């Protein structure tokens, strides 16, 4: 995409990397009118817009305004063309100071330009509607179109938020002492990574920065032991135009420099995940295309990089489902799990077991779990070596349900293991916080308090909730 655009501009006599301070004349060269605009959104673009807005802590109105503007300008597509010199999802003009054509064609850059300006517009004009904020940034000749797009924009915002929330679980023992720690990625312009290390009864370290430039807005940040030294490392999927995957290895007290371990994996709106699918002790990367094709690709870790991406399954976790990885049968290899997340009549949990070189046939392991908007997670809560499934309602009931793996299915329907954990807006996760071999509940409250609460597993339930950290994982950060 980038090279094509640049070549076109060069052919038209424009140096793609040189931006004049002001338009050379009324009808600048380098214009490519769009023959047509796609009828529907590109989910890769909506996800980036959502993630960038979130990383900058944009409020709901500003985020909605970005979806209204993107829908009106491009139907949420990264257009390499437009009216006059307009380009990209927001149809920004390189000859009016929005950046170089290459920058504008990077959806992360374009979204950052939009969002940072919209935040200022909203702050200066608190009475504005979302559409008026969009107009304040876009300065369109058709100012009313943005608010008219509100219903479409809201639906796409909700869809992107849902996709963004797919994080089934990953190991976070970055010090390698057997206790899972907590990690937060700011994913804003600073792109810092902070760690709170478990003492077994609390997390220590406030502002303990382990890396100062890793995982930008729009990327998927995850964790796992990719080199098999017993310490969990950080991994980020760039998606976007590049499909790069970067790793920063844990030294036990910090994460080293970000290194590119793959240059084309989980591009666009694909879902990236980290787990050891061939059971060699090194975590690998998995990409769910998460589209109607539902393909699943794997790139195995060599200890210093990820090998070629190979298809390990033909149809698993299509769009709308919640994919995850976990060793559900306890053979040391991570398997595929998907939560269909329909209504109560269609909330199945499907598994495909790893044989070390591919994933087998899909099997239904539960037929009523993680209904609708619940947040499912995968982890070994009873310590038998097989990963179980946990779901958080994250609503005023704040219930936590568990179904434990038998090795051939998940047992237990509406079995509540905790009845007050994770409210709306909070982010739940699993990890063995005290290192006793059972995964415990962790929740990042964010909001005004930024607390981290833990409820330890007894193997048959979770104990009362206690605060393990009082300032970790702010709004907009990715916490694991």
> For binding to Ca ion (CB under 5 A), which residues are involved?
225, 227, 229, 231, 233, 276, 278, 280, 282, 284, 327, 329, 331, 333, 335, 432, 434, 436, 438, 440
- The pairs formed by 386-389 with CB atoms below 8 angstroms and a separation of 24 or more are 386/327, 386/328, 386/329, 386/330, 387/326, 387/327, 387/328, 387/330, 388/439, 389/337, 389/339, 389/349
Minimum separation from the CB atom of position 433 to Ca ion (A)? 6
Cα→Cα distances 407→92, 108, 319, 402, 451, Å: 53, 42, 27, 15, 35
Minimum separation from the CB atom of position 189 to Ca ion (A)? 28
Query: What's the CA gap between 380 and 180, in Å, rounded?
Result: 13
Kindly tell me which of 289 and 434 has the beta carbon lying closer to Ca ion: 434
The tokens 């809560």 sit on which residue? 381
Kindly tell me which of 38 and 201 has the beta carbon lying closer to Ca ion: 201
Kindly tell me which of 307 and 476 has the beta carbon lying closer to Ca ion: 307
Contact 101, 94 (CB under 8 A): yes
Contact 435, 179 (CB under 8 A): yes
Minimum separation from the CB atom of position 398 to Ca ion (A)? 20
Torsional sign, CA 389, 278, 234, 105: negative
Minimum separation from the CB atom of position 450 to Ca ion (A)? 23
Minimum separation from the CB atom of position 439 to Ca ion (A)? 6
Contact 34, 81 (CB under 8 A): yes
Kindly tell me which of 5 and 183 has the beta carbon lying closer to Ca ion: 183
Query: What's the CA gap between 66 and 84, in Å, rounded?
Result: 21
Count how many Cα atoms sit within 13 Å of the Cα of residue 371 in the half-sphere of its side chain. 12
Minimum separation from the CB atom of position 414 to Ca ion (A)? 24
Minimum separation from the CB atom of position 227 to Ca ion (A)? 5
Contacts of residue 318, Cβ cutoff 8 Å, sequence gap at least 6: 290, 291, 292, 293, 294
Minimum separation from the CB atom of position 284 to Ca ion (A)? 4
Minimum separation from the CB atom of position 71 to Ca ion (A)? 41
């Amino acid at each position: 995409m980038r090279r094509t655009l640049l070549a076109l501009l060069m052919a038209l006599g424009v140096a793609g990397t040189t931006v004049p301070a002001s338009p050379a004349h009324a009808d600048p060269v380098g214009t490519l009118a769009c023959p047509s605009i796609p009828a529907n959104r590109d989910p890769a673009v909506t996800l980036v817009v959502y993630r960038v807005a979130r990383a900058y802590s944009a409020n709901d109105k500003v985020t909605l305004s970005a979806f209204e503007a993107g829908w009106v300008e491009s139907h949420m597509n990264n257009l390499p063309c437009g009216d006059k010199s307009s380009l990209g999802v927001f149809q920004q003009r390189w000859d009016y100071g929005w950046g170089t054509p290459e920058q504008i064609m990077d959806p992360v850059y374009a979204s950052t330009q939009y969002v940072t300006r919209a935040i200022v517009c909203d702050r200066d004009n608190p009475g504005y509607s979302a559409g008026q904020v969009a107009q304040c940034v876009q300065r369109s000749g058709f100012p009313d179109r943005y608010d008219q797009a509100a219903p479409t924009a809201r639906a796409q915002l909700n869809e992107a938020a849902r996709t963004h929330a797919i994080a089934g679980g990953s190991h976070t023992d970055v010090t390698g002492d057997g206790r899972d720690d907590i990690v937060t990625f700011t994913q804003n312009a600073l792109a810092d990574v902070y760690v709170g290390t478990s003492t077994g009864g609390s997390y220590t370290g406030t502002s303990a920065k382990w890396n100062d430039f890793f995982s930008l807005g729009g990327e998927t940040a995850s964790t796992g032991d990719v080199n098999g030294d017993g310490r969990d490392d950080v991994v980020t999927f760039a998606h976007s135009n590049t499909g790069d995957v970067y790793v920063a290895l844990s030294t036990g007290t910090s994460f080293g420099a970000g290194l590119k371990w793959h240059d084309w994996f989980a591009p666009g709106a694909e879902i990236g995940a980290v787990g050891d699918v061939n059971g060699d002790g090194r975590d690998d990367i998995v990409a769910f295309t998460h589209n109607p094709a539902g393909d699943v690709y794997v790139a195995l870790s060599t200890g210093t990089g990820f090998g070629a991406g190979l298809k390990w399954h033909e149809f698993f976790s299509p769009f709308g489902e919640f994919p995850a990885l976990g060793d559900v049968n306890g053979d040391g290899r991570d398997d595929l799990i998907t939560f269909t997340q329909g209504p109560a009549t269609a909330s199945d949990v499907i598994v495909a077991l790893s044989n070390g070189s591919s994933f087998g046939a899909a099997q239904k392991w539960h037929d009523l779990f993680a209904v609708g908007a619940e947040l499912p997670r995968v982890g070994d809560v009873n310590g038998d070596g097989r990963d179980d499934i946990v779901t958080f309602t994250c609503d005023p009931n704040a219930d936590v349900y568990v179904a434990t793996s038998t090795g051939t299915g998940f047992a237990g329907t509406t079995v509540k293991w905790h009845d007050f954990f994770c409210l709306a807006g909070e982010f739940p996760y699993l990890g063995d916080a005290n290192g006793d071999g059972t995964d415990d509940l962790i929740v990042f409250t964010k909001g005004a308090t930024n607390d981290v609460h833990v409820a330890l597993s007894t193997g048959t339930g979770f104990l009362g909730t206690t605060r393990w950290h009082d300032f970790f994982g702010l709004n907009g950060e990715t916490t694991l």
